[in-house]
Structure 1
Amino acid sequence: MTEWPQRLAQRIQAIDQAAADNRLRAESYKQMTEELKAVDGTASSPDGMVTVVAGAGGSVKSISFDESFKTATADLLAKTVMHTIARAQADAARAQAEVVRRGLGGSELLDRVLSEEERTFGDKPTPDPGVQVLRQAPASSRAGYDDYEDGFDIYQGMRR
């Protein structure tokens, strides 16, 4: 074979390989998309009063309560529900990030999302101290409410 037909054969082989790689990549993206749609995040309040399941994109799929919600004040219940929703949404985002990491490897955007997540919630989210203050305060007292409200702002920012 002369040089020109050899080059042509190599180019055809390279195009065939690129086409095969693209088919594999497309199948991988399709699988990753399906996994991302199926991701759920679950969180429970520290006392187990509220449990939330959040889906892809932060949608709330379910909220359940144990019997202790009956003795909680309206303010406490609202704050606990909102805090738990935010934690479930963060759990879903973390799970989605792991799907992307498996499918695509690391990326700067993924690393930033995970870093912000860790900064906001830490590896294992701890209960907001304001929740404990509210639970210990008499029902008529608002002690600790403003502290909890200030700490809650960070969860509101996650949804923007």
Structure 2
Amino acid sequence: MSAEFEHLVAEFERFQAGIRSADDRFAGLGAMQQELAELRASASSPDGGVTVVTGPGGAVLDVRFTEAGLAKGPQALSAAVLATLREAVGEAARRQALIVQEHVGDDLGLVDQVLETQATAFGTTVEELRAKLADEPPRTAAEDFSEERVLRQADAAPPPPPPPPAGGDSAGDKFLRTLFEEDD
């Protein structure tokens, strides 16, 4: 019965470790959600006459004009606004992809997908967009979960079982002892 009890204790502690791991992953998701909610990206026209600020999902939060930008005339101003909007929304999408990749890993190739889609849509190259991504200022976050995994790979081995308890006074031992004492 002692070997069976030790096996049950080891299984229970492995279960507890799995719960702690899931809790850690969900904490990372909360941080990711917060980072996404706080996301801001901006772009300015080449002459600085138009500035667009976007948020999560490319939502337009602000559009600013300088006097020089307004003096361009309707067609030139419209073209500058549209080009600057595209750039700011593209930057927001790239940053979002980076945030998600940092938290869930690169199994999906999300950043590459975004860069390829934008290269096609904007008539540029993936390399040019990747350079912009490298030039963008780094995010500041309260915690760094970039090494945390949220999605498991299908072929990943399960974590090794915890070593058997040395003193027999772990929380799992106490729980199982209480459980067995009630049955007697």
Normalised to the residue count of structure 2, the TM-score between the two structures is: 0.62
Instruction: Name 1:42's counterpart in structure 2.
Output: 42
Q: How does 1:72-151 map to 2 (within 5 A)?
A: 72-108=72-108, 110=110, 111-119=112-120, 120=122, 122-123=128-129
Deviating 4+ runs (over 4 angstroms): none
Cα distance, 1:118 vs structure 2 = 4.6
Q: Deviations over 1:89-111 (max 9, x none)?
A: 11111111111122122132513
Which runs of no fewer than 5 residues in structure 2 stay unpaired?
133-184
Q: Would you say the 8 A contact 2:48–2:69 is kept in 1?
A: no
RMSD (Å) for aligned C-alpha atoms: 1.9
Q: Deviations over 1:5-28 (max 9, x none)?
A: 222111101100001011111111
Instruction: Name 1:58's counterpart in structure 2.
Output: 58
Q: Give the direction of change, closer, same or farther, for the CA distance of 1:19–1:42 in structure 2 (3 Å limit).
A: same
Question: For the residues of structure 1 that align with 2:81 and 2:28, how far apart are their CA atoms?
Answer: 37
SS in 1 for 2:83: helix
Question: For the residues of structure 2 that align with 1:94 and 1:62, how far apart are their CA atoms?
Answer: 19
Which runs of no fewer than 5 residues in structure 1 stay unpaired?
126-160
**Higher helix residue share:** 1
Q: Give the direction of change, closer, same or farther, for the CA distance of 1:86–1:17 in structure 2 (3 Å limit).
A: same
Question: For the residues of structure 1 that align with 2:119 and 2:21, how far apart are their CA atoms?
Answer: 35
Question: For the residues of structure 2 that align with 1:115 and 1:8, how far apart are their CA atoms?
Answer: 51
Q: Would you say the 8 A contact 1:51–1:64 is kept in 2?
A: yes
Instruction: Name whichever of 112-121 and 10-19 sits farther off.
Output: 112-121
Normalised to the residue count of structure 1, the TM-score between the two structures is: 0.70
Q: Which AA in structure 2 matches 1:57?
A: G
Question: For the residues of structure 2 that align with 1:82 and 1:109, how far apart are their CA atoms?
Answer: 29
Q: Which AA in structure 1 matches 2:78?
A: A
Question: For the residues of structure 1 that align with 2:7 and 2:56, how far apart are their CA atoms?
Answer: 48
SS in 1 for 2:10: helix
Question: For the residues of structure 1 that align with 2:14 and 2:82, how far apart are their CA atoms?
Answer: 54
Question: For the residues of structure 2 that align with 1:2 and 1:70, how far apart are their CA atoms?
Answer: 83
Q: Would you say the 8 A contact 1:41–1:93 is kept in 2?
A: no
Instruction: Name 1:15's counterpart in structure 2.
Output: 15
SS in 2 for 1:108: coil
Cα distance, 1:116 vs structure 2 = 2.3
Q: Would you say the 8 A contact 1:97–1:114 is kept in 2?
A: no
Question: % of aligned pairs identical?
Answer: 30
Instruction: Name 1:4's counterpart in structure 2.
Output: 4
